[in-house]
Structures are given as structure tokens and as C-alpha cells.
Structure 1
Amino acid sequence: MTSILKRNRIGLIDGPPGTGKTTFAQWAAERCGRPSAVAAMPENPAPNDFLRVSIVAVTGQNPDGHNKTEMEAELVAALADWKGLLILDEIQNVGLRGLTEARYIHDTTRPQFPLLLVGWGASKTVRENQPLSERIRQRRFFKPLKGADLFTTVRAIDERFIGVPDDVIRYADDRYAQGLLRRWVALIETLQDWEVEHANEDDLTEAITSITEDEDEDEDDAA
């Protein structure tokens, strides 16, 4: 990420949902003193959705342009002034046209911003666009946490777990988190809200119950 950010290159992170791909990218940009914006692609994007979503992500406003040419110029100008990391999330939804557009925009700025392609199946998706694939400087693959990596990471991201036995962390992971950083963050935020200073199995059980009940309610509302 340091190389990508310093030289305004293109990188790629592939991995299952919830493994922390986008969170890591934003954290890395912050550590390097660069702003970041996430352009999350919808499942069935319209022809100009890459441009529209990216403009909104970078500027916080809807595009002024009314067609492809106008929006391209608007995005190029915004990125050149901004100079932050553009994270193109859910890249598997972009399609060949969107991938070509992303490469064109990055090339047109010569380049003045770093671009990160993120998604589940991102590597396979990008291989369909050889000119873009050849421009990728770094590729990384994220997986669910397990073993020593699980214990080290959980304790590193929240001090409540420093000194908590491995079997308690493993209990919460087996019952709910499944090695996914997104779920561990949900657990940690719940413990923070409850002002729990040192997590134990009972605290984690209550937090898991609370989170899963909220998730079930959200699913019922969506249905």
C-alpha cells in the first residue's frame, strides 16, 4: 500500500466479504497521510455508474455532467485536485466497460491519484481486462482470520482482549465472528457501547445475542 500510495499506482485486494479489505485500505491511506473515498458499485450498474458513483465518493455531491464525456472531465478534475486514494469496491460488479473506464480515468490524470480495486473475485474480474490487469502494481488476497493470526489481530485492535484467554476469543469466533474482521468490529463496538472494560465469555455471549437479534430484525424488515 505504501508503494501504491506514494507512486499513485493501481492495487488490488481480493477476498470474501467481511475480511477487512476496504477497512484496511482506508487505514493504510490514513497512515500515509492520504485521504480516501469508497466508490461501491451496485450489483447491476448502469453504463455510467462508475463515473457517477466515483464523483459522489470523491466530492460528496451528485455529478454536474449530464453525459459520459462531461462526467469524465468532472471526475478527472476532481481527482487531480483531491489526490486521495479512490477505492473501487465490489469491483466484480463493474463489468468490462466500467473496468475500461477506470483504467482510462487513471491514465488520463497521468496519474495523480492511487486506485485500489477491491472485491470478492476481483482478480478474476480484472483478468478480463488485460490492459488494466497489466497496470496493477500489487495484488493481495485476504482470508478469514484463524489460529495465531486471529488472537493477535483481535488483541491488537481492542485492548479489552489483552489478557483474555485464547479459548474465550475462539469461543466468540466459533459462535459468531467466523474469522471475519467485520463481525469482530461489531462485537467490539457493542462492548464499547456497554462500557465493558475486560471482555469475558458472558459479555461476549450477551453481545452476540444482541447483534444477532438486531440482524434478524433487519432481515425481517427487508423481507
Structure 2
Amino acid sequence: MPEHFVAVPHAAVLATPTFQLVDRDLADLIGHQAMGVVHGEAGLGKSFAVDAALEGLPGYAHGQVSARMRVVKLVFPHAPTTLRVAQELAAALLEIPVARSRSRFQLQEQVLDELSGRPYLLVVDEAQRLTRHAMEVLRYFYDSPATQLVLLLVGGNGCWETISREPMLASRIYRRRRFRPLPGRRVPALMRTYHPLYAEADEQLLAEVDATFAHGYWRNWAAFTATAYDLVSAVGRSTLDAELVANIYTSLGHDDPDP
């Protein structure tokens, strides 16, 4: 399975409904040579879910989905120019240094030639960094009748807003999966399956941690759990309690007053 943004010993992967649906979405996109988007605020587990779905594909360890379909995953810099998008795509697909003297249109021809020769699954993470013009370059390759391109955009805050403002792009989205914070009522039960530290913890205490610190965000729970694990290991305890929560907040700086 993919790695969390911090290492959390003994943590389990929780197959929430949204997490599981990403598997199905990816299979549908590949099956129909389509375009999709996975989006939501930062820290909700989008990239983790997509990486887990990718790892479940046959041949993914070798950069393939099938005997012919190749997988390429890209992260562009913030607000890349259309030339930068073409450069990054050419470098990733052709796996050769790209001459900076080449124009965007020359690079696009190279990319089109490569995409025409075999099917590709292109996953663009941090897609909220893309401007509408950058997204249009991706759509250009997707729309070409010569290519066999499956395109998945994975983005945080602002990703869907950019897509939805462009009808020519939004209308091509075959699968849209939005990640939301965990509902508070489900958090105590989920946390008990997430980590042994919470197996015997008080339900109200877990609910309070979520309400005051984690707010249903996986990244917050991962940071809290990693810190909790270090503390309980140091003091020889095995269950979360109010005293430990206070010490965890101190380690995380959560008890500092706002400036």
C-alpha cells in the first residue's frame, strides 16, 4: 500500500466508501478510455486512494496496466505555462531530455506521436496547480482521434472550480469523485479500526479529538496518531486517555494560542 505522509506504525488502511469507489472509477476510466477527476480539500486522502487504486492494477509495478497500456504520473509546478506542460509531458512520455529550444507546437507533435503509438493512463496529481490553459493542453491530447489516452486529474482546493468553469473540459469528465471530511458520528468507530491505540479509547474522547483538532481530515489524524504512538511507546501505555491527548496537543503545538 502507499505510504502515509508520516509513518504511522501499525496503522490500518480504512476502506471507506469513497476510498473504495476510486478503485471502481479508475477501472471505468480505463475500460472506456475516459477522463476523470478526484478532488477535495487538502488532507482528505485523495492521492493515497488513487495510489492504492493504481497499485491494484495488474502490471503497475512495471509501469503498465496491460501488455500495452503504460502508466505515467505527473506533478506540474504551480501555474505552468502551456510550453511547460508540453515540456513536462514530452520528457515523461519520451523519457529523454527535451531541448529547451523546441517550441510548444513541436513538442506537442512529439507527444501526439507517442500517444498515438500505444494507450496511456496519465495521472496528474496536484491538479489544482493547473490553469485552465494548462488543462486545455491536456484536453487537446485527450481529444485527438489518434490518441488512446486515459486521463485522471487529482486535485485539491480549486481543482474542480477550474474545471467546472470550462464547459468544454467539464463535459468530458466521465467520473468525478469528491472527497469530504469524515462525518463526526462515524469517527470513533473508524478510529478503532484504524489503530490499536484507539481500540479501548473512550468514544467521547475520540469525538472530542476530531471536533477540536482533526475535523475529519485523514492527514490530521495521521499526525495525531504518529505523535500519540511515540508518546505511549515512551511511557509504556497502550490506550489513549485525556492526559495523553493533552500531551499530544502540546507536541503538535495545538495548545498554543492564536497570534
Q: TM-score range by the shorter chain?
A: 0.7 to 0.9
Determine if the alignment matches structure 1 residue 46 to structure 2 residue 71: no
The separation in 2 between residues aligned to 1:181 and 1:79, in whole angstroms, is: 39
| C-alpha deviation, 1:101, in angstroms | 1.0
Greater CA deviation, 187-196 or 168-177?
Answer: 187-196
Choose which of 130, 141, 153 in structure 2 pairs with 1:94.
130
Q: Match of 1:48, SS? A: helix
Determine if the alignment matches structure 1 residue 127 to structure 2 residue 168: no
The separation in 1 between residues aligned to 2:158 and 2:251, in whole angstroms, is: 32
Check conservation: 1:96, 1:129, Cα contact below 8 A.
yes
Alignment of 1:12-51 (within 5 A): 12-33=37-58, 34=60, 37=73, 39-42=75-78, 44-51=79-86
The separation in 1 between residues aligned to 2:222 and 2:119, in whole angstroms, is: 29
- Cα separation, partners in 2 of 1:210 and 1:102, compared to 1, 3 Å: same
Determine if the alignment matches structure 1 residue 199 to structure 2 residue 240: yes
1:126 alignment partner AA? I
C-alpha RMSD of matched pairs (Å) = 3.5
Match of 1:219 in 2: none
Determine if the alignment matches structure 1 residue 64 to structure 2 residue 102: no
Match of 1:104 in 2: 140
The separation in 2 between residues aligned to 1:20 and 1:14, in whole angstroms, is: 10
Q: Deviations over 1:52-78 (max 9, x none)?
A: 55677x58x895242424544359749
Check conservation: 1:52, 1:71, Cα contact below 8 A.
yes
- Cα separation, partners in 2 of 1:171 and 1:118, compared to 1, 3 Å: same
Determine if the alignment matches structure 1 residue 163 to structure 2 residue 185: no
Q: What is the TM-score of this pair, normalised by structure 1? A: 0.72
Q: What is the TM-score of this pair, normalised by structure 2? A: 0.64
Check conservation: 1:84, 1:114, Cα contact below 8 A.
yes
Return 5+ residue gaps in structure 1 as ranges.
217-223
Check conservation: 2:126, 2:156, Cα contact below 8 A.
yes
| C-alpha deviation, 1:32, in angstroms | 3.6
The separation in 2 between residues aligned to 1:201 and 1:51, in whole angstroms, is: 53
- Cα separation, partners in 2 of 1:201 and 1:145, compared to 1, 3 Å: same
